[in-house]
Structures are given as C-alpha cells and as structure tokens.
Amino acid sequence: MVNRRTVIAGNWKMFKTVSEAENYAVKFLAEVKGIQDLDIVLCAPFTALYPLKNKLEESNVHLGAQNMSWADQGAYTGEISAQMILDVACAYVILGHSERREMFGETDEGINKKVLKALAAGLTPILCVGENLNTREEGKAAEWVRSQVIHALTGILREDLSRIVIAYEPIWAIGTGRTASSQDAQEMCVSIRTTLNGLMGSEAEKVPILYGGSVKAENIAELLTEPDVDGALVGGASLDPLSFVKLVHNAASVFARVKGV
C-alpha cells in the first residue's frame, strides 16, 4: 500500500471574525490533540490568520489561506502575497477554488502562476479542480478535470509534485447537500492520478487527492475507504468546531482501520 498522508482540511470561506476564530480554535484543539495520523488543516480568512497562528502554535493543526497573489509584492491593491501568508505561519494555501474561478474570474493561467509561486515559497498548494453539472451530464467531467490539472501544473518541477495536494470538488456537490457517490469520487481521483502519472511518472503516487463537496461527519468514512480518496476539503461542516471534531475523529478511525500501515 502506498503510504500517502491523509489530509482533512476545513475551508471556512468568508466566515468568522477574529474572536469567533479564536473561540473555535480553543474548542477544536482540545478535542483533536493527539491525532497524528491525519494532516488537519484550517483554511481561514486572511484577517483570522494571525490570531490563529498564536492559537495553533505547537499544535497538530496546520494553518492555510484560501487564496494568494501570483506576484511577490508591489502595487497590487487588495492582494496578499505568499510571503505574507508564510509570515503568519500558513503551511497550506487553497488555489483555484471553483468559487474564485466562477465569481472572481480566476483563469487556468493565473492559477498556474499561483501554484508555481506557492511552491517556490515553500507553501503546499491545495489545488481545486472540478466540473459543473452540465459538463458531468455531457459525460465530459474527466476530460474537463484533466485539462484543469494539466494547465495548473504546467512548468512544475518533478520533485515539487509530491509537495502539492489536489482537491476534486465537483461544483454540483458544493454546498448543495448532494455528495458525489464514493465510487464517483474514487473514479475521478484515479483519473487525476493517471493524469499526474502522465506528467510526472511515479511521483504521482505521492500526491494526496482529496474530495470536497458536502462532506460531513456522516459520510467521511465511506469516502475515505476508497483507496484513492486521500482526504477531504470540507466547507459547511467545518464551521462548527464540534461537528468538525466529529468528522476528524471519524476520519481518524477509518485511517486506523483501513489505511493504517
């Protein structure tokens, strides 16, 4: 069995003030301390990152941002650089989320520049890919996602591939309560791995591929028992600390039962 890390990442999106984030961290950390088999990540809004850095220091919970600029610094009003998020102890950054692609005009080309910048800065990008309902119904989902992966990873070095995480998030399953079946998730994760293999050969085996879209404490176990689903990117169900704790615990017990080495 390939020993890939299992990653459970919460994406808070545009929720939580500083005090809400701090209260969350206290409750969450108390319940997940001691879990070492999973990489647990909280991807918070920019304004909550610094206070969370202080709360998460020396804990087993990593910090992530939800976006960053492809530029290093300069006259880019409203942007945040890789160096700035590193400065507040982020290890991860979500890139290319469908909400950014759909509502804020992010392109494959810009996402590729961000992926390269994040890797060069020493961050782990969580690259999001996924098709909309039309594309799925036309039977073109795999082709669509393959193209997103190839564009986003253009120019990356073979040795950097093992430092990225990919999240397959079908748009029709985000915030809708409609989860892809675990077989659909597994199929697409295999298809993504095949694409990675075509680009970089056996390094592809090291890349954690997550599923995202209406993941909850109740369905995480079934998703994680699929051999190529290496974790989850969780939106709504990560907003309440105790619900997310439950999800993390359910993930950890699957890890121990099925994926343990």
**So which residues are the catalytic ones?**
97, 169
Q: What CA–CA distance (Å, rounded) separates 232 from 225?
A: 12
| Residue where the block lists tokens 């102890």 | 89
CB under 6 A: which stretch of 157-165, 184-192, 232-240, 247-255 binds ligand 13P? 232-240
- Smallest gap from Cβ 148 to ligand 13P, in A, equals 15
- Smallest gap from Cβ 261 to ligand 13P, in A, equals 28
- Smallest gap from Cβ 201 to ligand 13P, in A, equals 29
User: Considering beta carbons, is residue 235 or 259 the nearer one to ligand 13P?
Assistant: 235
How many residues can be counted in the chain? 261
6-11 vs 165-168, strand pairing mode: unpaired
Q: What are phi and psi of 32, to 5 degrees?
A: -110, 0
Q: Does 212 bind ligand 13P (CB under 6 A)?
A: yes
- Smallest gap from Cβ 179 to ligand 13P, in A, equals 8
Question: Which string of DSSP letters, residue by residue, matches 70-121?
Answer: SSSSSS-TT---HHHHHHTTEEEEEES-HHHHHHS---HHHHHHHHHHHHHH
- Site map (CB under 6 A) of ligand 13P, residues 3-22, x = contact: --------x-----------
Q: Does 169 bind ligand 13P (CB under 6 A)?
A: yes
Ramachandran bin of 231, using left for φ above 0, alpha for ψ from -120 to 50, beta for the remaining angles: left
Q: Does 234 bind ligand 13P (CB under 6 A)?
A: yes
Q: What CA–CA distance (Å, rounded) separates 186 from 22?
A: 35
User: Considering beta carbons, is residue 83 or 132 the nearer one to ligand 13P?
Assistant: 132
- Site map (CB under 6 A) of ligand 13P, residues 36-65, x = contact: ------------------------------
CB under 6 A: which stretch of 114-122, 141-149, 200-208, 227-235 binds ligand 13P? 227-235
Q: What CA–CA distance (Å, rounded) separates 38 from 252?
A: 7
Give me the residue whose beta carbon is nearest to ligand 13P: 235
The 10 Å Cβ neighbour count of residue 107 is 11
The 10 Å Cβ neighbour count of residue 109 is 11
User: Considering beta carbons, is residue 196 or 217 the nearer one to ligand 13P?
Assistant: 217
Binding site for ligand 13P (CB under 6 A): 11, 97, 169, 174-175, 212-215, 233-237
